[in-house]
Structure 1
Amino acid sequence: MWRNKLVTWLLLVLVVMLSINVARSWVKISQRAEIISLTQDRLQQAKDQNESLKRKLAEVESQEYIEREARNKLNKGREGEIVLILPSVSPIAEPSPTPIDTSANWQKWVKLFM
């Protein structure tokens, strides 16, 4: 009789310990799955950025880009072409408005004679 109770208690303790270990493992697996998901997102962003940079590099290395930059920034041209460099246009200065004297007429006469 006491042997049956002992076996029952031992089995119960074993089941509880196994349940705790399974729960811990499940929590670790779910945390690692989240880490994997975040890492995959970062990897995809890095791949997208890499593709964008490859396209930009291909554009910069193209002959058309080099020629356009030489024309625009270095004022260069092809053989036989004449490069015109126009002076930059400065904005026309607008005259500043003259201040309006709001003092009374008699004060203006006093200022004139004093």
Structure 2
Amino acid sequence: MENVKDALGALVLMSGLVVIVYIIARYTYLVKKAMIENGLAIPTKSKRLMFIDMGCILGGIGLGLLVSSMFSVMDLDENTTDLLVWGTILIFGAVGMVLAQFLRNKFGDQG
């Protein structure tokens, strides 16, 4: 009975993810289609800005991993260590996202 519950939970989770991706893809398609029908220009995304975004986010996560590795060598409780490690990774990832947004706003008109 426990395996059935696990399988059902996984099925519901994966179905939810598929539905969310479908809704986002469908909405994006309909927005682009409406823009084309109304004669509006579809904004082109700059590859340079995309790579800057990815670099900032991955750099932030990498820096978070580097800083969080210090917590694994400290003599802390296991739960505290887990909390500090994941918290540090998420915080540095968020800092990378903020930096990416700042750079996008600063250099967006040039890309």
TM-score (norm 2): 0.34
Higher helix share: 2
Q: TM-score scaled to structure 1, two decimals? A: 0.33
Larger radius of gyration: 1
Higher relative contact order (CA 8 A, sep 6+): 2
